[in-house]
Every structure is written in structure tokens, then in C-alpha cells.
């Protein structure tokens, strides 16, 4: 049974100066669904994620997480484009920094869950780039085990590491039943992780496609993924 949060985003207006970024954008995400938001760089995907995460409250409209506004809801877990770890803290300390009431044993288990069994006492400078990103994921899960916001988490890393992290995210999400919003400009990320893909384009931003991926993630082979990527590529170019 899914333990994820239900999400409703109904943005009436969001502007930067005189330019309207969002003007009547709405979508819903049921509990436990993984939704990818794709579109060209600069379209407003990351801004939308910050609004949902409560980081940017400057908009008109409603964002509801389990029927609560972000200020009253459980804080979502947020994974940014770079790990943003505290360099003076250990891996475990970075988890405790965002969740002070987290028991040490719970923090250690979160690190185990992301494949960092022996890294709890290592600082970011002692960790590889891939290990730092695993700590960032564990930190997000320490904040929330219900709603996870991923902002281009696979950019600026090599393909092999990206594939490893995608498999890790899929495993964690499936095990916990999380609701996930994944922002990406890469259709491959969406094809391997999402249950549903929302394509954004234009100014003001609009939903140009909302596509359910019928084949479950675990059952998608290379041909399935290639077909999804091709369809999403065409949709982004239209």
C-alpha cells in the first residue's frame, strides 16, 4: 500500500517582474505515483518544484499536500542538482542537521538503505561524488518518507553513475511507496523512473502533454525505454 502524499498544484499566477511564468497551471498527483516534469531548460520546472517545496511562496493559487498548504504539511524531502552537504559534518551529521530528532540508529539505517553502510563518520571531502549524492538522497528521506522532490538529480555526472543512482532511487521509491516529483530535461530519466510524464512548455508555462506510462518500471526493457524516450523527444520538439 502506498504511503506517499497526495499532491494538488493549482497555480493561478506566478510572475517575475512583468512576465507571467505561470497563469492557470493545474495538475494532481495521487499518493504513491512518480511523476516526471520535463521540458526545456529555463521553462520553470525548478521554480515549480520550489513552490511545491515551500521554498518559494510568492504565487497566487493553491498547493496542497494531503489537503494542507505547504506551511502546514509535512516538509517534503528535496534533492537538489548538487548535493549541498555541510562540509564540516559527517554523512550521519548531515542527516541530523536537517532532522535533529532523528535517532542515530534511524540515520544509520537510512545510510544503509542508500548503500553507504560504512560511511557514517566520513565527511563530504572524503566521499566520492556518487557517495555525496547518496547522502543527499538519505538526507531527503530523513526529512520526509512521503513526498520526494528531485530537481535534476542526475545532471553533471557520468552516465554510469547516473544509471546507478536511477536504479537506487527506483528501489527506494518502490520500497517506501513514496510520491515523487522528478524535474528533468532528459527524457531518459523520465522513461526509467516515472509512472507518468507531464511535459511543460511556453510562457506562460502550460501542460502540453500528460502521458501515463502503462508498463511498470520493473518490467521495462531497453526497447520499452527507447520507445518512451522517442515519444517524449517528439513531444518536446512539437
CATH number for 151: 3.40.50.300
- State phi, psi for 232 to the nearest 5 degrees: -70, -40
Give a yes or no: residue 188 inside a domain. Answer: yes
Same domain, 163 and 100: no
Our measurement of the distance from residue 55's CA atom to the centroid of its chain's CA atoms, rounded to an integer in Å, reads 14
Q: Which domain holds residue 24?
A: 7-76+147-237
The pLDDT of residue 1 is 45
Q: What is the pLDDT of residues 172-223, one digit of tens each?
A: 998 889 999 999 988 999 999 999 999 999 889 999 999 999 898 888 889 9
Distance CA 2, CA 142 (A): 18
56 and 99 share a domain? no
Residues 117 and 223 in one domain: no
CA 238 to chain centre: 25
pTM of the complete model: 0.92
Q: Structurally, how many domains does the chain consist of?
A: 2
| Residue where a domain stops, chosen among 143, 163, 180 | 143
Q: Is the peptide bond before 97 cis (omega within 30 degrees of 0)?
A: no
Q: What is the pLDDT of residue 218?
A: 86
Contact 110, 134 (CB under 8 A): no
Residues 104, 92 contacting (CB under 8 angstroms)? yes
Residues 178 and 230 in one domain: yes
Q: Are residues 123 and 164 in the same domain?
A: no
Tell me, yes or no, whether 228 and 133 share the same domain.
no
Helices marked H in the chain: 45-52, 91-98, 104-113, 129-143, 159-176, 187-193, 222-237
Residue ranges for the chain with pLDDT beneath 70 = 1-2, 235-238
Same domain, yes or no: 95 and 71: no
Do 183 and 225 lie in a common domain? yes
Amino acid at each position: 500500500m502506498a504511503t506517499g502524499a497526495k499532491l494538488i498544484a493549482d497555480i493561478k499566477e506566478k510572475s517575475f517582474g512583468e512576465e507571467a511564468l505561470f497563469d492557470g497551471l493545474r495538475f494532481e498527483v495521487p499518493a504513491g505515483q512518480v511523476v516526471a516534469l520535463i521540458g526545456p531548460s529555463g521553462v520553470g520546472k525548478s521554480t515549480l518544484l520550489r513552490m511545491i517545496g515551500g521554498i518559494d511562496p510568492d504565487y497566487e493559487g493553491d498547493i496542497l499536500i494531503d489537503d494542507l498548504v505547504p506551511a502546514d504539511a509535512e516538509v517534503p524531502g528535496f534533492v537538489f542538482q548538487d548535493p549541498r552537504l555541510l562540509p564540516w559534518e559527517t554523512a550521519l551529521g548531515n542527516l541530523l542537521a536537517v532532522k535533529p530528532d532523528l535517532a542515530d540508529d534511524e540515520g544509520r539505517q537510512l545510510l544503509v538503505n542508500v548503500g553507504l553502510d560504512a560511511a557514517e563518520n566520513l565527511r563530504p571531502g572524503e566521499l566520492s561524488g556518487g557517495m555525496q549524492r547518496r547522502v543527499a538522497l538519505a538526507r531527503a528521506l530523513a526529512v520526509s518518507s512521503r513526498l520526494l522532490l528531485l530537481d535534476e538529480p542526475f545532471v553533471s555526472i557520468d552516465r554510469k553513475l547516473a544509471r546507478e543512482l536511477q536504479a537506487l532511487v527506483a528501489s527506494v521509491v518502490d520500497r517506501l511507496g513514496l510520491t515523487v516529483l522528478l524535474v528533468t530535461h532528459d527524457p531518459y530519466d523520465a522513461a526509467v523512473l516515472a509512472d507518468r510524464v507531464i511535459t511543460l512548455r511556453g510562457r506562460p508555462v502550460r501542460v502540453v502533454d500528460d502521458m501515463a506510462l502503462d508498463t511498470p518500471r520493473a518490467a521495462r526493457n531497453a526497447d520499452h525505454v527507447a520507445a518512451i524516450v522517442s515519444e517524449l523527444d517528439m513531444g518536446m520538439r512539437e
